[in-house]
Structures are given as C-alpha cells and as structure tokens.
Amino acid sequence: MTNIIIAGAVGLVLSMLGTPLAIRLFSRRGYGQEIREEGPSGHQGKRGTPTMGGTVIVLAALFAYGASHLATFAAPTVSGMLVLFLMTGLGAVGFLDDFIKIYKQRSLGLRSGAKALGQLIVGAVFAVLVTQQPNVYGITPAETRVSFLRDIGPSIGIVGFTIWVLIMIVGFSNAVNLTDGLDGLASGATGVVLAAYVLIGNWQLRNNCIDQLGPNCYWVRDPLDLAVVAAAVLGALIGFLWWNAPPARIFMGDTGSLALGGVLAGLAIATRTQLLLIILAGLCVIITLSVIIQVGFFKMTGKRVFRMAPLQHHFELKGWAETTIVVRFWLIAMLCAALGLGLFYVEWMPKP
C-alpha cells in the first residue's frame, strides 16, 4: 500500500510543478495547437495553446514509479515494466504525430497508415512479451485467453491472442484520442478508470491464489505493482488536469491520449480484465461508437446522425457550454467506472 501512495503523490507533485514549466517552454518554442477549420467555431480561440503536454504525464509517471520502488526497496516487476513500456511507446508515436502537426503548421500529423503502423509495432512487442516471463510460480503477466473478471474460455493461441491484444491497444488508444477534444475531458475520463484499477490491483493482491487458493482467487502475476503503475499515472494525470481544466493552459495532444489509452489497455490485459475495460472506460467507448455510427451512416445514406462527431462536438453545436459537456461527461465516466467495479466485486458478495 505504501508503494501506491508514494507513486500517486510523487506523480501528482512532479506533474503539478512540471506542467507550468512545459507551458513556458512550449510557448517560447511556438509548440501551439492547430485547430481544424471545420470544427466548432468556438475552438478557433484555442489556436496556439501549447500542446504535447502528454510528455509531462508520461515522464512524471515514470519517475513516480521509480521513486516508489526506491523508497520501499522493492524491485520493479515484469508486469509493471511492460505496461509502462506500452505507455511510453505509444506516447512516442503520439509525440511524433504532435511534432509533425507543429512543424508543418497543420491539424493533421502522421498519416493514418504510419500512425497505425507505429501503434501496431509497439503493441506487437507488448503482446509477445506479456505471455512470457513467468515468475517462480509459473504465472506470466497474461495468458493466451480472453478475460472478463478473470481469464475465461480456452486458449486462443499466441496468434489469436496477439491479434486480440492489438485490437485492444489500437482501439483504446484511439478511443482516448477521440475523447480528447474539450478542455479536461480526456484527463477526467481516464482518471476515473485509473482509480478503478488502483482498487482492482489492490483487491487482487489481497485475494491472490498464491496466498489463499479458493474459487474466486486471482492468478495475476504482479497485482500490487499494477496498482502502483495505475496510481503513478493517476497522480500525474491529476497534476496535469490542474492546468488542463477549462480554460486549458495546455493540451495533452496525441502524446498524452495515445499513452493513456495504452496504459488502460495494458492494465486490463495484465490484470486479466480485458472485457471489463469496455465497461470501465464506457465513456470512451460511447464516443468512439459515435464516430463509427456517423461515418458508417454517412457512407450508406449520405446523411449524418449527429451534427458532428465525436459526440462531444455534437452537443457543442447544440449550444451546450463546454464546461457543461465536460462535467456531464465526467459524470457518465464515473457511472461507467462504478458499474464496472460493481461487476468486478459482485462475485464476492455473499450467496443466498
């Protein structure tokens, strides 16, 4: 438990103090956000706001994770390091995307194919390594099985599992990217999911099959360290949100959104709650579905379901204030996370 508290506190302090430094640095270098012309007219006033703030989140989380282990003399684990690798690798892809936008002064960075290729390469390395590295009890960070509250069903094989992991990583990194678009929206939405994973990791630690074998115990390799990772990123995210809340002084950019999506996917895979993430991160899923529905319906009929996609921009064009949308969407994110946690704990409720 001490590791979790230290990781969250250090991540919070580093991000809180580091973000204003990043704002000044990026402002001096002209690393400002480009805004799409076809977007809501109110967004044009945000042009030039410093972006790539996700670098602060990633660096603060990495330092917080290391500090928690140094302070408690605990060795890093394979599971924790793999999730951090996934976060950092996808953050690097996002950083390249953001830098191209700034360098070429346009709202589009990497071509979609190049961006997807970067995500797939990082995801493939993670997918292969996560099924290896067993501990002394023979438990690997993940098994080649799909999971909900724990692993379910038969093995789908290394090829099938790799494809499934890539779908999760690309899907959720893009889902958080689509959720990012209003000041503080993605930060708050992913923050509640990370808080849920702090609780999940701690619960799995207290009910692991090594210490107490039972029908509901968890075969998770490093539950405590996964909670530490979630706490480190959560603390960094809260510190960043202080400056990203409306009106935002800095944006996380693709650097932050891809990294955060990677963390969520990595935690779900390593805690063996892959399908549960769809519920925990329900807001991101809903927003992604709004884009899929909009594009698909337009291609079939030439008409639009929403005034604009992603969904948050639909409500902007309906006249909702940005802060109203952000707060209401945060509430939806909290309800989704609460529902996911409720399902996670329901099997531990006393049976009549």
CA–CA gap between residue 36 and residue 23 (Å, rounded): 22
The CA dihedral of 83, 166, 164, 236, to the nearest 10 degrees, is: 30
Contact between 53 and 240 under an 8 Å Cβ cutoff? The reply is: yes
Reduced DSSP (H G I as helix, E B as strand, rest coil) percent helix, strand, coil of the chain, to 5: 70, 5, 30
Spell out the residues 6+ positions from residue 162 whose beta carbon is closer than 8 angstroms to its own.
Answer: 124, 127, 128
208 is in an annotated binding site: no
Spell out the residues 6+ positions from residue 164 whose beta carbon is closer than 8 angstroms to its own.
Answer: 146, 156, 274
Helix (H, G, I), strand (E, B) or coil at 134: coil
DSSP 218: B
C-beta atoms surrounding 144 within 10 Å: 20
- Half-sphere exposure for 229 (CA within 13 Å, toward CB): 32
Query: Do you find a cis peptide bond into 246, omega within 30 degrees of 0?
Result: no
254 is in an annotated binding site: yes
- Half-sphere exposure for 311 (CA within 13 Å, toward CB): 19
Binding site for Mg(2+), residues?
A: 177, 254
Binding site, residues?
A: 177, 254
